[in-house]
Structure 1
Amino acid sequence: MSVLNSPALRRLRSRKAAVAGVAVASAAAVGLTLVPTDADAGTTAEVAAAAPVSWKVDPAQAAKVQESIATQQSSFEAQVKAQLEKKKAEAEAAKKKAEAEKKAEAEKKAKAAAEKRAEEKAAADRKARAAKPAKVTYPNNLDGWIREALSIMKKHDIPGSYEGIHRNIMRESSGNPLAINNWDINARNGVPSKGLLQVIKPTFDAYHVAGTKKDQYDPVANIVAACNYAADRYGSMDNVDSAY
């Protein structure tokens, strides 16, 4: 008998085949433990080769395998869910950050525009103030009245000087804006002379200058009207040296 075909060698090959079969079956059944039932270590190689091999599933081991698979699946699903939630949270955070940056940029632009408008307005105001001469105020006394009257006379081209006006005021009323003459011919005619330059009502009304008060006793209005009358009759108040 050939050594290659001896009973012992055939038994060894049979055992190897059985072990290989068990490994393949275990892999196909996802790790189930399969136990041979009809194999007998004492049987001959011929009987082992001829008899069919059957396998029995261990329920306890199968349950453990199923539980392990379920646990792994749950763990995998949890990991996938966690990754999806993480990506969603990152996307939301990125979106909020972009919106916040966009809002901040819009607010920055609005602030810059407001500051620019404020600067332009301030510049325009400064320019307007520079173009418009500041309002001159005059003291409420004889000096202030004469100087204010001269500024109005200048606008209306009425001649006269500070000296000429002051000289005639001191002669006519001594600088009293409420002075009144109740004894001359004008007074007897019912139109007494009044004010700093002793102007009668008809003359005051005729030579009154717009922009001044219509009041004979008002010092500025009285001076301007009297100087306007003197300019018409004498060329200037400077040319008046007596009653006029």
Structure 2
Amino acid sequence: MGLEDQQEEIEVLESIFPDELTKTEDNEFRIAIKLDLPDDVIEATKPDDWDPEDEYEAPVMILSVKYPEDYPDKEPNLDLSPPPQQHEQHPLFSVADDKDELLAGLTETIEENLGMAMVFTIVSALKDAAEQLIITRHEAIVKEKEDAAREAEREENKKFHGSAVTPESFVKWQTAFLQEMADVRQREEEQAAAELAKKVRGGGGPGGVVGKDGTRLTGRQLWEQGLAGKVDEDADDDDDDSVPTGDVQKLKIDS
């Protein structure tokens, strides 16, 4: 393709990009490539002080093209730069930082189109690659936030669900529970025996019972002779001061 054919391609590009293409030399020009992003990406990347009445400015990169003499049999010289009027860098895209990756990604496209006018195809490939780069970064941030939220929810649920039960943990719990119940029963039996012994040891005092020979009856003897209930009733009566304690103290048991 000679100079005439190169100029013809530039004219076609000017009709496609009337506001975006700026010719600098007969064989050089620049094209402003405006990126189109999904609404969720736009909303997520707006600054905190965003005024709803302001017009959203899509990210833009400038593709500089210079034809070598034997273009299109040889690839064009390409470069990327941010627009000169750009005030703020997009939070998920930087032309300076991403330029090498984007230009390297054009290798296959250029090789497939050698011998043909390829600038329009190059512009389309660059636009798609830059947009996908931003979308991928946005999706990674969303996933990270979702993972963090799920992990926080799992930690919160642990407070209510406790530890998972396994055969080993159940056996350990069961052993401890049965031992605790045995200890409780033993304490209750010891307490009941102590209370009964206290009543029996009362002897000549309230609740005490002596036999015919003047000795105090043991708890076992009280049960064998059917007097355990009598002791309890007398003890309760003593608490109410309704039965003279002297009568109980003089009680003699016939064998």
TM-score range, shorter chain: 0.3 to 0.5
Q: TM-score, normalised by structure 2?
A: 0.34
Determine which structure has more spread, i.e. the larger CA radius of gyration.
1
Q: TM-score, normalised by structure 1?
A: 0.35
Which structure shows the bigger proportion of residues in helix conformation?
1
